[in-house]
Structure 1
């Protein structure tokens, strides 16, 4: 990946709907060059898809939390299967250190969050959990 590829990704990160013609004008390269680069970035898996990023208006009324889990040895697959069935669990990351999983959870209110946390904590294979409720977003560079 070179500087042109990074510039293309930067522009698309800000606006995934940007046309190839607009990209080529902003980058001052031929449209065919941008198109070829996009195709290569897509086939190599660097670009996995084009999506929309929800703004704060869509997030209003949703309580978000990070949940840190420590699981029993050899129970990762079973715990992941059960986590997939909980709609409020948006993402699950494996981690290094004293926790095995980092979960992103979104709920409409504290009652639902409490139920979800109880459900996760009661799972067979979950040794311990720690929850961090998100209060406000100060920086968001996620794509």
Structure 2
């Protein structure tokens, strides 16, 4: 693959990741709603969808790392990162790429926040069900 094709793939993957992170945001919001509604079937469906999206994102992340290593191969002393890679670009292209990368990082951070919120809700619900089914674990019982 030529350097030009590698750059094209890298930028295409960033755009694809942005689209998938938006889909992930939606799936996480829907998962939250399903958890609030105690809809087990919808929770399962959304978990599968979230898993698919995460797998796609992971696959592109690995490819992005590989492309960065390849594109930076001739630049001794540069750690393979997109920041280092974008630094090689002329000003207008560098700024556009940095903006796209920043937007992707913001989407990823929001999905992380949503995932943590959903996980906390599911954990709280699980603990509540455990107390209902099995009683308080630290309830004092007189001898």
Question: What TM-score do you get using the length of structure 2 for normalisation?
Answer: 0.26
Q: Which has the higher helix share?
A: 2
Q: Which has the higher strand share?
A: 1
